[in-house]
Each structure stands twice: as C-alpha cells, then as structure tokens.
Amino acid sequence: MKENITIIGAGLVGSLLSIYLSKRGYKVKVYERRGDMRKEKMSAGRSINLALSDRGLLALEKVGLAEEIKKISIPMHGRYIHNLDGSSAFQPYGKEGQYINSVSRGTLNMKLMDLAEEQGVEIYFNEKLSKIDWSNEVIEFESNKNKPLPSFKTDLIFGADGAFSAARLQHQLQHGKFNYSQYYIDCGYKELTIPPTSDGEFAMQVNALHIWPRKDYMLIALPNLDKTFTCTLFFPFEGEASFEKLSTPEAVKSFFERTFPDAVKLMPDYINEFFTNPTSSLVTVKCFPWIRGDKFALIGDAAHAIVPFFGQGMNCGFEDCRVLDELIDKHKQDWGKILKEYQTLRKPDGDAIADLAINNFTEMRDKTADPKFLLQKKIEARLHEKYPDKWIPAYSQVTFSPHIRYSEALKRGQMQEAIMQDVMAMPGIEEKWENVEVEDVILRRLNS
C-alpha cells in the first residue's frame, strides 16, 4: 500500500490530481517551481484564459467542483467570425444548449490550490525539481532562493510539471529506450486586450469565441469576467506577414488597420501591448513510456503537450486524472496495474488529440471563412440533428462527448471527413444539400 504521493507541479493538472488523490486518503505533497500566485502577483503562465469543455467539466464534477468552476466561467455558444470585408457571422458549436466555457487560468488554478489545501494537500512553493535518483527512490529540489531542500523518499511520483517537464527529463535520462519527439509549429502567439466600453460593458457579443480568420494566421478573443476580452494573435514567426516583419510601431499599426480593422477600434493599447507582451512558441510533445513500474507517471502536458487549437490541453489533462481515479477503483490500489493501464489507455488518446489539434489550426484560421466549408458544417449539423447516434460532427465528439475517447473521435472523424469530401464534390450540392438523395448517399456510406 502506497501512502505518500509526491506531485511535481501545482499547475492546473497537478492541483486537480492532488485533490483526487487526497480525497482517497493518500498523503499528498506538491512541489511547485513558482511562488504562490495567491500571494504574489505573477502570471499564471501560458494563456490568460482557457476554454473548458465537457471532458474537463466531467473530471471536475467527479470531485464535486464543476458547479463552482462554472460560476467563474462565461459560456461561449459558438464562433463569432469577423471577416475582412466587415461582415460577421455566428456559427454555433453544437446543438442548442451546448457550449464551452471561458475561464481565467489564474482564478481556476488558485481555486484548485485552495481546494487542495482544504483537503489536506501540502503545497511547497519556490521548489524546483532538480533530480530524481531512481535506484534509491530519492527526489531532490533546488530552491529558487538558493537553499537546497533535503532530499526525501516517496512511494510514488507524478510528473505534472508541464510541456518542458523536468520530471520527464529525469525519467528519460535514466531510461534505455525512451521515445521522445517535440515539434514546434512555425506560428507563435501574442496576447492583446479589448477593454470594456466607456460605460463598462463588453465591447463585443459576450457569449462567443471571436475569430478573425485570415488564412495563414488568425486573431481570436475570449471573454473574461471583468468584461475584457483576451485576444490572441496566432502568427508566423517569419515570412511576408510575420512577427519578424512587425518590428516598428508604424508597421504594427499599418498591418492591424489593414487586417483587423474592426478589432483595432476596440483595442486602444494594442501597439504598446504588441511590444510589451511576450511572443511565445507552440509545441507538440509526444513521448513513451509515461510510467516507471509502480513508482512514477507523467500526467497532463508533461506527458502530452499539444497546440491549443482544439482548446483541449487542460481538458485532456483533467481527463487523465479522472481515468486514473477510475483505475484506482478497478485495480484496488495495485499501482503497478493502475499505472500500466493508465498508460495503455491514455497514450493513444494523447497522440490523437495532438493530431486533432494540429488539424484544427487550418480549420480555424482558414476554413471558417470558406462558404463551402460552412455548407459542409450545415449538412453535418442537420445529420446530427436527425440521426444523433449515427453522425456526430468531429468537433462535437471531442468537445461535447466526454465518453468518446479522443482516439475514437479521430478515427470516426477521418471516416466522416472522407464521406463528406465525396458529398461536397457532388454536382449542385449547394442547391440540393437538404435533399433525400444527399442524405441517402451519406447513410449508405455510413452503413457500409
């Protein structure tokens, strides 16, 4: 029986995992590299806000947190598209009543840490993992304040220390056959702000995720409870239109006025923010194995960092926690079996959502403004309405169907896409898309 569990990283996933484990009676200690964001003013890291969807909510619900977190979230029922010609369109995400939630990363992380501590979890801040000695089962930390902590033994370690995980590196360094790949896309991101209007209201439709799709790049905006929107520019590092080219305030002004004319009017400080806020990169990390016997496992971004275009990184990490918890019941605390099955189940799902997320980048920045793509989505939505068990659009499988595994969603999505490519190639599809003939073709293909 393991009693003492150590988690490296008090980010979103490490904090939620600590709640799950302490609720089961384990003695949980969490070691976090940064200071305590509840006491010191600091960035919560990565994006300012995030989209929380049904998988994340299901994981929160299992420890009784979903309702509390919903209270600090803003529902987004669909995409609000801002075209270059000034026109705009609302595209619902799913069926009536289905939505994703915009939540502040900092507020969510602080809430999870509060709840973890209420549950008896001990969180140590300014403690950076430096070494794991596998043969002696000893962990060492290097304090940010230059006073090394004494090393200590633990029964089980979880590496929840994000995309650039030190725990993963320690695992890799002392492993004979560790597979690892990291892939940076050629786009980075920068955050900008749309403040409230002069009368203190949201400057745009609040219950939507706003997108300015511009083919090779895009701007998006998610609402915050303080009536601001956090905008994120996903933009190439190099090339004709790129961060490299926007090196002066004049270049930024001219580019934004040409490319995002309606957004510019709502962002009084964007030029200053463009030069003050960091430009960050986006990486996909895949690795294997995630575990070491019954002593160690990677979880969250440390196991599977993905690009943010499906809004699933945190949701996937929260789902890791839920699946692991179910396996604790199934294998009656036999950690060798628990970790083995956790890896068997989650590795293909982590790989699948990584691929889905890369594909969704093209969809968001390019296709959301394409009439043919919009027609395809209309046909799919109609099918889903009529045959909800037979046809679930790929986006809905990932976002609103937490019981469909990511690997299954990827497979089904590819099969449906192949059918839709043929349907969209039918002569006159624009006129006859609601005809029985089209429906019959799809149903026949599905049944075969």
Ligand X SMILES: Cc1cc2nc3c(=O)[nH]c(=O)nc-3n(C[C@H](O)[C@H](O)[C@H](O)COP(=O)(O)OP(=O)(O)OC[C@H]3O[C@@H](n4cnc5c(N)ncnc54)[C@H](O)[C@@H]3O)c2cc1C
Cβ distance 220 to 231 under 8 Å?
yes
Residues in region 295-314 near ligand X by CB under 6 A: 300-302, 308, 311-314
Tokens 């749309």 -> residue: 194
Among residues 10 and 19, whose Cβ is nearest to ligand X? 10
Cβ distance 108 to 317 under 8 Å?
no
Q: Where are the alpha helices (DSSP H) in 297-334?
A: 301-304, 313-330
Among residues 162 and 213, whose Cβ is nearest to ligand X? 162
Cβ distance 234 to 212 under 8 Å?
no
CB of 138 to ligand X, least distance (A): 15
Question: Does 113 engage in binding with ligand X (CB under 6 A)?
Answer: no
Question: Does 129 engage in binding with ligand X (CB under 6 A)?
Answer: yes
Cβ distance 419 to 444 under 8 Å?
no
CB of 64 to ligand X, least distance (A): 20
How is residue 195 annotated by DSSP?
-
Over the window 313 to 332, marking each residue x when it contacts ligand X by CB under 6 A and - when it does not, the resulting string is xxx-x---------------
Among 28, 50, 338, 423, binds ligand X (CB under 6 A): 50
CB of 435 to ligand X, least distance (A): 38
Cis-peptide, bond into residue 348, ω within 30° of zero? no
Can you spell out the DSSP letters for 16-29?
Answer: HHHHHHHHTT-EEE
> Strand order of the sheet with strand 127-133?
127-133, 138-143, 152-153
Among residues 180 and 435, whose Cβ is nearest to ligand X? 180
Residues in region 168-227 near ligand X by CB under 6 A: 189
The Cα 368–Cα 213 span in angstroms is 7
CB of 415 to ligand X, least distance (A): 25
How far CA 220 is from CA of 156, 344, 359, 360, in Å, comes to 40, 35, 17, 14
How far CA 323 is from CA of 24, 45, 232, 286, in Å, comes to 14, 26, 31, 19
Over the window 29 to 48, marking each residue x when it contacts ligand X by CB under 6 A and - when it does not, the resulting string is --xxxx----------xxx-
What number of chain residues touch ligand X (CB under 6 A)? Answer: 34
Phi/psi at 441 (5° precision): -60, -45
Among 5, 7, 8, 63, binds ligand X (CB under 6 A): 8
Question: Does 11 engage in binding with ligand X (CB under 6 A)?
Answer: yes
Q: What is the pairing mode between strands 122-124 and 27-31?
A: parallel
Q: Beta-carbon neighbour count of residue 84 at 10 Å? A: 15
Question: Does 14 engage in binding with ligand X (CB under 6 A)?
Answer: yes
CB of 172 to ligand X, least distance (A): 14
Among residues 317 and 393, whose Cβ is nearest to ligand X? 317
Residues in region 223-262 near ligand X by CB under 6 A: 232
Interior angle at CA 206, CA 203 and CA 208, nearest 5: 125
Residue number with the shortest CB distance to ligand X?
11
Over the window 69 to 88, marking each residue x when it contacts ligand X by CB under 6 A and - when it does not, the resulting string is --------------------
Question: Does 162 engage in binding with ligand X (CB under 6 A)?
Answer: yes
CB of 217 to ligand X, least distance (A): 14
Among 166, 192, 291, 339, binds ligand X (CB under 6 A): 166
Phi/psi at 54 (5° precision): -60, -35
The Cα 445–Cα 442 span in angstroms is 5
Among residues 281 and 435, whose Cβ is nearest to ligand X? 281
Q: Which parts of this chain interact with ligand X (CB under 6 A)?
A: 8-14, 31-34, 45-47, 50-51, 128-129, 160-162, 166, 189, 232, 300-302, 308, 311-315, 317
